[in-house]
Amino acid sequence: MTYQVYKAIDVADALVRLALADKKPLTNLKVQKLTYLVYGCWLGFTNFQMFQDRVEAWKYGPVIPVLYNQLARYGANFIQEPILEKNPIPKDSEEYQLIHDIYNEFKDLKAWQLVYLTHQKGSPWHQTHTPETKGSIISPDLVRDYYKNLLSDPHD
């Protein structure tokens, strides 16, 4: 089966729209973490990348630099409006369903809790990050294998 490839900003916009409808706006940091979780879970379930934007290991966890730059104008403030004029991810798609599920699962966690979650020992970030190097690329294969294992282990 083949899937549509989107951009990280498309996933982020879908998350922001869900949060705004829920009256729980997101910050850039929280959008980064939720977008990464969508990316990881989708890779783990399907073996396909929902988006091909580069993911890097930064101090506060996995970051999609192109998304970070697009949202930098918000600083640490809440994103109070949709990012895109129109979101290209159909609401009846499997991709959107996963985005919706990830949002619902993690919406009540604080951004720092999501940072902690992505810093777990053995995680792709943990395996890639070194304190002296900012921006090491987190391999999609590493993300896929980690989430495939995480999603198939009934004890986690």
d(CA 3, CA 119): 29
Residue 155 clears pLDDT 80, i.e. is over it: no
Q: What is the pLDDT of residues 83-111, one digit of tens each?
A: 999 999 999 999 999 999 999 999 999 99
Banded model confidence at residue 122, pLDDT cuts 50, 70, 90: very high
Banded model confidence at residue 131, pLDDT cuts 50, 70, 90: confident
pTM attached to this predicted model: 0.95
Collapsed DSSP state (helix, strand, coil) of residue 30: helix
CA nearest neighbour of 128 among 55, 47, 38: 55
Q: What is the mean pLDDT of the chain?
A: 95
Q: For residues 92 and 1, is the Cβ–Cβ distance under 8 A?
A: no
Collapsed DSSP state (helix, strand, coil) of residue 57: strand
Collapsed DSSP state (helix, strand, coil) of residue 3: coil
Q: Residue 147 burial (CB < 10 Å; 0-12/13-18/19+)?
A: buried
Q: What is the pLDDT of residues 23-77, one digit of tens each?
A: 999 999 999 999 999 999 999 999 999 999 999 999 999 999 999 999 999 999 9
CA nearest neighbour of 30 among 68, 82, 69: 68
Collapsed DSSP state (helix, strand, coil) of residue 119: coil
Cα 114 from chain centroid (whole Å): 10
Residue 156 clears pLDDT 90, i.e. is over it: no
d(CA 51, CA 6): 5
Residue 62 has phi, psi (to 5 degrees) of: -65, 135
